Chain A
Amino acid sequence: MKLEPKQLTEFPSERQITAARFNHEGSILAAAGYEPAVRRWQFDGKTLTPLPSLSGFHGYSTALAFHPQQPQLFCADSWGQLRCCEGEKTIWQHETAHDGWLRQIAVSPDGKRIATCGKDHFIRVWDATSGKKLAEHDADEDVYALTMSDSITFGDMRGRIETWDLDLKKKQRTFDAAVLYKLDRIQDLGGLRVLRFIDDGKTLLAAGTTPQNGATPQSIPTILFFDTASGKLTKTVTHGTNKEGYIHDLAQHPSGCLMAVSSGTPGSGMLFLLNPADKEPFHVNTKMANCHSLALHPGGKHFVVTSTNRDSNGNGKSLGKDGQYKTNTSPLHLFEV
Chain B
Amino acid sequence: MNPLCTPRDHTFSRRAFLGGGLGLLTSPLFAEAMKQRDKQVLFVWLDGGMSQLETWDPKPNTEFGGPFRSIPTSVPGVHFCELMPKLAKQMHKLCVVRSMCTKDNAHSSGVDRIQRGDPKNRGVPYPHFGAGVAKLLGPGSSGLPPYVWIKPGSGGFRAEDAGFLGPKYGSLAFGDGKPPDNLLRHPDISAEQDAARNELRQMLDQRFAKQREKRVVEANASVFDMADKLMARADIFDTSKLPERDRERYGRHDFGQHMLVARQMLEAGVRFVKVTSYGWDTHGDNFNAHAGMVPKFDQAFSAMLEDLEASGLLKTTLVICLSEFGRTPRINGHVGRDHWPEAWSIAMAGHGVKHGMVVGETNDRGTEVKAQPHDIGAAFHTWYRALGIDPMKTEFDNAGQPLPIAHDDMLPIKEALA
Contact = CB atoms under 8 A, between A and B. Distances in A.
Binding between chains A and B: yes
Interface of A: 15-16, 34-36, 58-60, 62, 78-79, 100-101, 119, 142, 157, 184-190, 214-218, 245-246, 263-267, 269, 289-290, 307-309, 312-318, 325-328
Contact of A34 (B152, B255, B331, B342): B331
Contacts of B277: 185-186
Nearest to A246: B285
A290 B288 CA distance: 17
Interface of B: 48, 60-61, 63, 65-69, 82, 105-106, 152, 253-255, 277-285, 288-289, 291-293, 296, 328-336, 338-342, 365, 367
A265 B293 CA distance: 21
A265 B152 CA distance: 26
A275 B178 CA distance: 52
Nearest to B280: A215
Contacts of A327: 63, 330
B334 A60 contact: no
A186 B255 contact: yes
Contact of A328 (B61, B280, B283, B332): B332
Given A186-B254, A216-B284, A325-B365, A245 B334 contact: yes
B288 A214 contact: no
A58 B331 CA distance: 17
Given A215-B48, A315-B339, 17 more contacts: A35-B63, A157-B288, A185-B254, A185-B277, A186-B296, A189-B285, A215-B284, A216-B281, A216-B334, A263-B334, A309-B333, A314-B338, A315-B105, A315-B328, A325-B329, A328-B330, A328-B332
Given A101-B68, A187-B289, A187-B293, A325 B330 contact: yes
B332 A215 contact: no
Nearest to B294: A186
B82 A263 contact: no
5 contacts: A60-B66, A62-B67, A316-B342, A328-B331, A328-B333
A318 B61 contact: no
Nearest to B152: A185
A101 B67 contact: yes
A317 B367 contact: yes
Contacts of B106: 315
B292 A188 contact: yes
Contacts of A317: 340, 342, 367
A60 B342 contact: no
A34 B63 CA distance: 6
Query: Shortest 3 CB-CB distances between A and B: which pairs?
Result: A290-B333, A78-B67, A308-B333
Contacts of A313: 283, 332-334, 336, 338
Contact of A216 (B65, B253, B283, B330): B283
A58 B61 CA distance: 6
Given A186-B279, A315-B328, A214 B333 contact: no
Nearest to B110: A315
Nearest to B282: A215
Nearest to A317: B342
B217 to A, nearest CB: 45
A265 B334 contact: yes
B367 A215 contact: no
Given A34-B63, A266-B334, A215 B279 contact: yes
A209 to B, nearest CB: 9
Contacts of A58: 60-61, 69
Contact of B293 (A35, A101, A186): A186
Contact of A215 (B152, B281, B341): B281
A62 B289 CA distance: 17
B367 A312 contact: no
A133 B295 CA distance: 29
A309 to B, nearest CB: 8
Contacts of B63: 15, 34-35, 327
Contact of A187 (B65, B292, B329, B335): B292
Q: Which of B60, B67, B282 has the most CB of A within 10 A?
A: B67
Contact of A60 (B67, B253, B333): B67
A327 B254 CA distance: 36
Contacts of B340: 315-317
Contacts of A312: 330, 332-333
Which of A245, A266, A313, A318 counts the most chain B CB atoms within 10 A? A313
A328 to B, nearest CB: 6
Contacts of A318: 330
B15 to A, nearest CB: 38
A55 to B, nearest CB: 12
A315 B338 contact: yes
A215 B329 contact: no
Nearest to A14: B63
A185 B279 contact: yes
Nearest to A60: B67
A168 to B, nearest CB: 32
Given A186-B293, A316-B340, A216 B282 contact: yes
